[in-house]
Structure 1
Amino acid sequence: MRAIGFKRLALLLGAALLALLLVGAASLSRPWHALEFKTFDLWTSLAAPHRSTLPVVLLAIDEPTFQEVQQRWPFPRSLHARLLDRLREDGATAVGFDVVFADPSAPEQDAAFAHSLAAAAAAGLPVVLAATREKVESASATLWTDVLPLPAFVAAGAQYGNAEVQPDDDFVVRRMPQSEGSFSAALARAATRHAVPASSANLIAYRGPRGTFDTRSYYQALEPGLLPEGFFRGKVVLIGRSALTASELQHSQADLFNSPFAALGGERLFPGVELQATLLDNRAVGDGLRLVPEAWSLALVLLALTVLLPATLRWHPGAVALLTAGLVGGMALLSWLLFLQFGRWLAPLFPMAATASIYGASALTAYAQTRQRARQTRAMFSQYVPAAVVSRLVAEPELLRLGGEAREVTLLFTDLAGFTTLSEQLSAEQTVELLGLYFGAMAPIVHASGGTIDKYIGDALMAFWGAPLDDVDHAEHAVRAAVAMQEAMGNLCDALERRGLPRIAMRIGVHSGRVVVGNVGSAERFSYTAIGDAVNLAARLEGANKAFGTGILLSGDTAALLPANMLLRVLDEVIVKGKSQAIRVYTPCADAALCRLCADTLDAFAHREWAHARAGLEALQRALPGDLATLRLLERLNAACNLAEDANWSAAQALDKL
């Protein structure tokens, strides 16, 4: 047994590792990275908005600004000079121009801006200008050159930093610039007036969608009275383009990026100046997002592997599926909590997909192993094919063709009570031995009474009477076989105990009805079986024994076909799912007086003769102390007595609710 268990575990492990290899290969692809990006965007959208603790104001060069200043881009630098003078006079803490002033303009314009820069420096107002890089291609090489502000502006006291960012393939910027020479790093040092530690963050912690930072139009700072006096006092001011539709800006000048907030239907475009404000805030506050080491993801996958493989061997597939769903959901929740509470980014896609693949591979492998064992079991019990069927097929080989015929038959279903729990306590060999003894004792009884064993389903046996050979007394033969089978259980349990196996109990359901019987399957593999609603009802009656505390339960259709000398005790009226007509259910009983009392009591109950019914039930309790069917009917009687006279009430109960 240990060798078999180890072999099963090894097969599951091999399948799981193969699935992990495929997931690992997929994780290197661009579509995979795109999905990870979308997860990051979703977390970002769910976590927003967070107001910045840094006093930042954005002056957006937007559509209203172009309409008000009536200038084409780039604006005259004297206009920027006016703006800078206003910010200096109003008490701004630091100013950042997310604009590259690399090319000279009219001398008087450059002089005006340089003069304002010098005045700001003299007043202790740091000004940071944007720089960038430019690709220069030649026949021999591709070079990158720095594009810096004009030397005159630097000489006047302006600082500068590289404002470049690296968008991902979908043009969303998620990664923090790591260079200390970046625009945001220079502006952070200027705003805080001290050295800002090198950022250890890898990813940007977005504060919110467009408009999260206090944003005003560029022209409002130029015109007196549009903003209150002292509005900029103590604030860091960033100036940059934010126009979405202005014809003055070409596409290459628009300085717009795709927004992570589009993941939840937010605005797609995000201005570069607001992105720089976000980077500044991340650096100044020091709360950018840090990547969780990849070892965490691998540890989660290892956890899933060590949990799911043993569970697949021991648990019901449905329970394993729920466990897998819990693990996958837990990984997503862990990623979210790390993101929200600790500023850490754990990409959940790989551990989640790996866990799902472990489950899928191990479940498929376990299913294949189960199917293989099922085929072996069917081959082992092929000796139980009824001799009558074999004889008829030999005599009439044309029956091997697929097809069927409608017949009135009586069907019988058996099942062992609590076998699922019992089988978990037995070895595979003991389980097969027990079933062999059980079926070996029951099959001869079925065959001796003219029945056909349709199939064995685990610990269940399905048989029918009235096909393939005609049997006018099929109901009587089936019920007598059921009684004989229950009587044989005593000797069988004694034999089981002698072999060191536990005692077992059997439930039987019997129903008569019209079905289609014949060879069902393919030309290569088929079985002689019965199909129809009557089959389902017989199976349901078997399960309903639990509700009535009986070992045999048969329908009124079967009872109607039995001879008068076969005594039956009526138990209740039930309604089959999908049917409107109630049927009565019975169990064999040797006491004629008890049978009459039960019938009289149930009739009184059905006609709302409560006192009569109660008297009958009390008599039944004295005759059958602890009888479950009597107790259930008494409970229903007590409930019915409390109903109003005109209340909608039925004496029958739903069979599928038992």
Structure 2
Amino acid sequence: MRAFVSELLRRTRDLGHALLVWLAAALAAVWWWSPLGEAADRPFFDAFTVLSAPHHNDLPIVVLAIDEPSFQELQQPWPFPRQWHAALIDRLREDGARAVAFDVVFAEPGDPAQDQAMADAIARWRQPGGTPAVVLAATRERLDTGQTTLWTEVTPLQRLLDAGAVAGQAGVSTDADFVVRRAPADPDSLSARLAVAQGATASAADWIRYNGPRGGIDTRSYYQAVTPGLLPPGFFKNKLVLVGRSLRTATELTASQADMFNSPFAWLDGSDRLMPGVELHAHLLANRLLGNGLVSASPWWTLGAGGLFSLLLAAFALRMHPGLVAVGTASAAAAGVGLSYAAFAQGGHWASPAPLLAMLGAAYGVSAVWGFVATRRRARHIRQMFAQYVPPEVVSELVAHPELMRLGGETRELTVMFTDLASFTTLAERLDPQHTVAVLTEYFNTMTAIVHRHHGTVDKFIGDAVMAFWGAPLPVPDHARHAVDAAIEMQQAMAAMVTRLQAQGLPPIGMRIGIHSGPAVVGNIGSETRFSYTAIGDTVNLAARLEGANKAFGTGILLSASTAALLGQGAPLLRPLADVVVKGKTAAVRVYTPCNDADLVASSTRQLEAAGQPALALDKL
């Protein structure tokens, strides 16, 4: 029944762990699906953009930048005279350009003659089939009032449109961090209008695939195109040209700040923080011509992968080493990021790895906390189980390294000690039960402390006897020496205790100790419903017999030759007594007792070796 209850509790804990892991993963997925989760996608998009950008292209796209060199060379503040734009249109047409787009809004009338000059230049450029060759920027301006938000359409001069130009929306949308990542959905965008001149039919994607940082598209200064002789004839042949402001430090920058934008390269590769709007449109145009803009992948793939990995984590986390769980989780996260990048760079799909990482992180975090709590619970169990057997430092070592304790039993080299009290029955007859228990408690407390001080393990109390051993649950170097030293100190403590008892008018008692070293089976031994940490085997039996053999020699400590052989240099002097055959044994065992008289030790040794006497049979002990 107990085994059934134990298994039921284990399965319940496993189920609870799995449910918590799944709940954590689900909450992470919900968090990512919310607007807050969008911020987690952006670093991955920017990193993938930087890593996958080719930084070169052979597309027929040229950006004419209205930049600082142009202001310096042309010695003209903004806005430039529109007759210059008219001259530029004529130059591009004569040079064989396919089309030109101005990322400049010509909404306000200027000098009538110059407006007409620009209109005439537009009218002179007619593409075969009537395809517009000049695209002029239009925009929408937002006006926020206390009650509502108004949008105003700002279009180019009607005179320019009547001459054959078309309007293209130049607006782009930024994310909350003011970085432009999304492609405009407007089919009348500036890049879409210009792509028509090249015959591109690819629809706009959801996200911009940047060719590179600022300057990643072939860029020339405006003044080079309007000044004869600076660019070779035919330079613009079959090319699509975009004209717009691209300022860095000029005084005009403040006035044109609205046409500068953050790109994914702004903080990842140290490029210029701002990218001109005209270059953004060049990247959008490149996406349309190549058909390689990024399309949003279904998030269910990523969420499904996160759910699958969370399921595997819940299934195996409690049965695997924590290090393997951490490595497996990190490998799954790395694989998710790698697949996401492959889809981005090679497949043209943007599938953020953020939800997968969030779900894995949440699942692993819950599993790690669960494992930590379970480890603490096991640590408490180990402390409670072994605190009564071994010293506190040994318990701490077992808690820190539970693998050192193999449950179920194993063979170890031990030194085993048995003690028993002589004449305790006579003493107990003189005392009431409470005083008897008090004397035993003092005795057990004193002897347990000595055993622990000498790195031993108290196995059990049997009536007024103590069983202890050295060498388990942790290996103890010089276990025989520790046991003998403990026995000598125990007899000294016993003498002090007897003195106190006699001072109370009580009869004296004595203590006999038997010690033997050898192999024994040690571990949690017993039934499924009741077990204890103990040692069994011939070594244990012989140690118990030697305790009783003290009666035959009138000694307080008796140890076997096996123990004596392990003591080494600096050990207490040992007096050999005899070769004995204890009950249940056929082989003789030489026994010793500690002795401080070197002459007596030498004399006993000579007599025992010279006599050649047969082994003493102690069958009744």
| TM-score interval (norm. to shorter) | 0.5 to 0.7
* TM-score between both structures, scaled by the size of structure 1: 0.63
Per-residue CA shift, 1:466-512, capped at 9, x if unaligned? 999974868xxxxxx9994643339x99999xx9xxxx999xxxxxx
Contact 2:65–2:244 (CA under 8 A) maintained in structure 1 = yes
Per the alignment, residue 451 of structure 2 pairs with 451
Per-residue CA shift, 1:142-192, capped at 9, x if unaligned? 321211111111110101111100011222100011111111111111222
Distance 2:96 2:356 in 1: 51
Per the alignment, residue 378 of structure 1 pairs with 383
Amino acid at match of 1:207: N
Contact 2:172–2:184 (CA under 8 A) maintained in structure 1 = yes
Per-residue CA shift, 1:256-290, capped at 9, x if unaligned? 11121131222221111110000111112211111
Give how far 1:139 is off: 6.5
Distance 2:42 2:397 in 1: 56
Contact 2:62–2:239 (CA under 8 A) maintained in structure 1 = yes
Taking a change above 3 Å as real, the CA distance of residues 228 and 311 of structure 1, as seen in their structure-2 partners, is same
* TM-score between both structures, scaled by the size of structure 2: 0.66
Per the alignment, residue 174 of structure 2 pairs with 167
Per the alignment, residue 43 of structure 2 pairs with 38
Per the alignment, residue 487 of structure 1 pairs with 519
Taking a change above 3 Å as real, the CA distance of residues 561 and 211 of structure 1, as seen in their structure-2 partners, is same
Distance 1:560 1:221 in 2: 100
Given the alignment, which residue of 191, 207, 211 partners 1:184? 191
Given the alignment, which residue of 264, 270, 275 partners 1:270? 275
Distance 1:169 1:221 in 2: 37
Distance 2:232 2:90 in 1: 16
Contact 2:168–2:188 (CA under 8 A) maintained in structure 1 = yes
Per the alignment, residue 16 of structure 2 pairs with 11
Amino acid at match of 2:194: L
Contact 1:15–1:365 (CA under 8 A) maintained in structure 2 = no
Would you say 1:258 and 2:271 are equivalent positions? Answer: no
Give how far 1:414 is off: 12
Per the alignment, residue 79 of structure 1 pairs with 84
Per the alignment, residue 335 of structure 1 pairs with 340
Contact 1:260–1:268 (CA under 8 A) maintained in structure 2 = no
Q: Secondary structure of the equivalent of 1:210? A: coil
Would you say 1:208 and 2:208 are equivalent positions? Answer: no
Contact 2:416–2:515 (CA under 8 A) maintained in structure 1 = no
RMSD (Å), alpha carbons = 4.6
Per the alignment, residue 560 of structure 1 pairs with 569
Given the alignment, which residue of 156, 168, 175 partners 2:163? 156
Taking a change above 3 Å as real, the CA distance of residues 312 and 484 of structure 1, as seen in their structure-2 partners, is farther
Distance 1:138 1:495 in 2: 84
Contact 1:451–1:465 (CA under 8 A) maintained in structure 2 = no
Q: Secondary structure of the equivalent of 1:559? A: coil
Contact 1:338–1:344 (CA under 8 A) maintained in structure 2 = yes
Q: Secondary structure of the equivalent of 1:270? A: strand
Counterparts in 2 of 1:283-432, with a 5 A limit?
283-384=288-389, 431=407
Give how far 1:204 is off: 0.5
Amino acid at match of 2:198: A
Q: Secondary structure of the equivalent of 2:216? A: coil
Amino acid at match of 2:180: V
Contact 1:121–1:156 (CA under 8 A) maintained in structure 2 = no
Taking a change above 3 Å as real, the CA distance of residues 16 and 120 of structure 1, as seen in their structure-2 partners, is same
Counterparts in 2 of 1:601-612, with a 5 A limit?
none
Per the alignment, residue 473 of structure 2 pairs with 460
Structure 2: stretches of 5+ with no match in the other structure: 1-5, 421-446, 460-471, 490-512, 538-561, 576-588, 590-621
Distance 1:349 1:248 in 2: 40
Taking a change above 3 Å as real, the CA distance of residues 349 and 82 of structure 1, as seen in their structure-2 partners, is same
Give how far 1:12 is off: 1.4
Per-residue CA shift, 1:230-263, capped at 9, x if unaligned? 0000111110100122113434455111121131
Give how far 1:28 is off: 6.2
More displaced 10-residue stretch of structure 1: 25-34 or 166-175 = 25-34
Counterparts in 2 of 1:534-613, with a 5 A limit?
559-562=568-571
Distance 1:176 1:126 in 2: 23
Distance 1:58 1:211 in 2: 9
Distance 1:455 1:49 in 2: 73
Per-residue CA shift, 1:568-592, capped at 9, x if unaligned? xxxxxxxxxxxxxxxxxxxxxx9xx
Contact 2:261–2:277 (CA under 8 A) maintained in structure 1 = yes
Taking a change above 3 Å as real, the CA distance of residues 41 and 563 of structure 1, as seen in their structure-2 partners, is same
Give how far 1:561 is off: 2.9
Distance 1:20 1:14 in 2: 10
Per-residue CA shift, 1:432-465, capped at 9, x if unaligned? xx26x999x9797488996324699xx8347789
Contact 1:451–1:466 (CA under 8 A) maintained in structure 2 = no
Given the alignment, which residue of 244, 249, 252 partners 1:245? 249
Distance 1:60 1:494 in 2: 87
Taking a change above 3 Å as real, the CA distance of residues 369 and 120 of structure 1, as seen in their structure-2 partners, is same
Per-residue CA shift, 1:520-560, capped at 9, x if unaligned? xxxxxxxxxxxxxxxxxxxxxxxxxxxxxxxx99xx9x733
Taking a change above 3 Å as real, the CA distance of residues 312 and 115 of structure 1, as seen in their structure-2 partners, is same
Contact 1:56–1:214 (CA under 8 A) maintained in structure 2 = yes
Distance 1:376 1:35 in 2: 42
Per-residue CA shift, 1:14-73, capped at 9, x if unaligned? 332343355346536777533421221111111123433421011000000011111111
Given the alignment, which residue of 127, 140, 143 partners 1:133? 140
Taking a change above 3 Å as real, the CA distance of residues 371 and 455 of structure 1, as seen in their structure-2 partners, is farther
Counterparts in 2 of 1:85-164, with a 5 A limit?
85-121=90-126, 126-137=133-144, 141-164=148-171
Contact 1:117–1:158 (CA under 8 A) maintained in structure 2 = yes
Distance 1:214 1:446 in 2: 94
Per the alignment, residue 508 of structure 2 pairs with none
Give how far 1:11 is off: 2.2
Distance 2:349 2:536 in 1: 58
Give how far 1:327 is off: 1.3
Contact 2:101–2:194 (CA under 8 A) maintained in structure 1 = yes
Distance 2:92 2:182 in 1: 31
Amino acid at match of 1:156: A
Distance 1:482 1:69 in 2: 111
Q: Give the greater-gyration-radius structure (CA).
A: 2
Taking a change above 3 Å as real, the CA distance of residues 215 and 185 of structure 1, as seen in their structure-2 partners, is same
Taking a change above 3 Å as real, the CA distance of residues 482 and 221 of structure 1, as seen in their structure-2 partners, is farther
Contact 2:415–2:483 (CA under 8 A) maintained in structure 1 = no
Aligned residues: 475
Amino acid at match of 1:487: P
Counterparts in 2 of 1:41-56, with a 5 A limit?
41-56=46-61
Identical amino acids, percent of aligned pairs: 42
Q: Secondary structure of the equivalent of 1:92? A: coil
Distance 2:298 2:27 in 1: 22
